[in-house]
Amino acid sequence: MKQCIKVIVIAINDGSGHVFTTPVEVTDDEYCNGEHFRIAVTRATDAGFVSPMLALEADDLVRLLKDISASARRNAMH
């Protein structure tokens, strides 16, 4: 059975940083092997994006931003 994962690719496009998003359908095995990231990066490349590229699941980006925010608050207190 396939699942649809929303993947965000942060990359360079037209000389500046941009975000490319794409839904990717993968099986459980493909998901465990990170195939959704490879597919998303390939799609971003096909759309004109270039390296460096960072591919994340949409939910991971939210967690990353929360971690960065918490870290910034901790650092501000020191």
pLDDT, tens only, 19-70: 999 999 999 999 999 999 999 999 999 999 999 998 999 888 777 778 778 8
Q: How far apart are CA 63 and CA 39, in angstroms?
A: 22
Q: How far apart are CA 3 and CA 66, in angstroms?
A: 25
pLDDT digits (tens, 9 = 90+) for 5-20: 999 999 998 889 999 9
Structural domain harbouring 57: 2-77
Q: Choose among 46, 47, 19, 45: nearest CA to 6.
A: 19
Report the pLDDT value the prediction gives residue 78, as an integer from 0 to 100: 65
Number of domains in the chain: 1
Cα distances (angstroms) measured from residue 48 to each of 19, 40, 66: 12, 13, 30
